[in-house]
Amino acid sequence: MNNFLSFLIGHNFCKHPKLNLNIKFQYCADCGELVELSWYVVRCRCCDVKREAKLKFGEIFPVDNFCTNCGSEEFYVQKIEDLKFYDIHHAVLFKETVNICAKRRYTQVWADSCEPAHTYVLKLLPMLTEHKSVS
């Protein structure tokens, strides 16, 4: 079924099930893509109480329409850098693939000469190197 859906969509339809939840950036063992794991918590905008969250079509929403503490329907989404044990019940995991692009940059190297210090001239040698950056 996944092969049929990926054929229709035209790209990889991997859900990255084998990822270690403690590592922020890692490669998926099934598809080979670089995946960033991010944890988010939904909070009430009025009283700042944590609310249970769900992931729906790539967006994060609270499970209930209204806050159980103050009755407000306004909320905001907060990104958590380090997941604590008491946030597990309220946190939502968001898996996002990261595009890696190779950029060409020039590196300059000064070449030493074997001549005495007072007579030699420094020579600048340009070298082309490839650096991979995460974007």
For every one of its 135 residues, what pLDDT tens digit does the chain have, with 9 covering 90 and above? Answer: 455 544 445 455 788 888 888 888 999 888 888 999 999 999 999 999 999 999 888 889 999 999 999 999 999 999 998 888 888 889 999 988 888 765 556 555 555 556 565 565 555 555 554 555 554
Residue pair 38/82 in contact (Cβ under 8 Å)? The answer is: no
Domain of 23, in residue numbers: 2-100
Q: Are residues 118 and 69 in the same domain?
A: no
In terms of Cβ atoms closer than 10 Å to its own Cβ (0-12, 13-18, 19+), residue 135 is exposed
Q: Are residues 26 and 61 in the same domain?
A: yes
Q: What is residue 135's predicted lDDT score, i.e. its pLDDT?
A: 46
Q: What is residue 113's predicted lDDT score, i.e. its pLDDT?
A: 58
Q: Are residues 68 and 130 in the same domain?
A: no
Q: Are residues 67 and 85 in the same domain?
A: yes
Q: Are residues 50 and 23 in the same domain?
A: yes
Q: What is residue 32's predicted lDDT score, i.e. its pLDDT?
A: 85
DSSP letter (8 states) at residue 46:
T
Q: What is residue 75's predicted lDDT score, i.e. its pLDDT?
A: 94
Q: What is residue 31's predicted lDDT score, i.e. its pLDDT?
A: 86
Q: Are residues 91 and 35 in the same domain?
A: yes
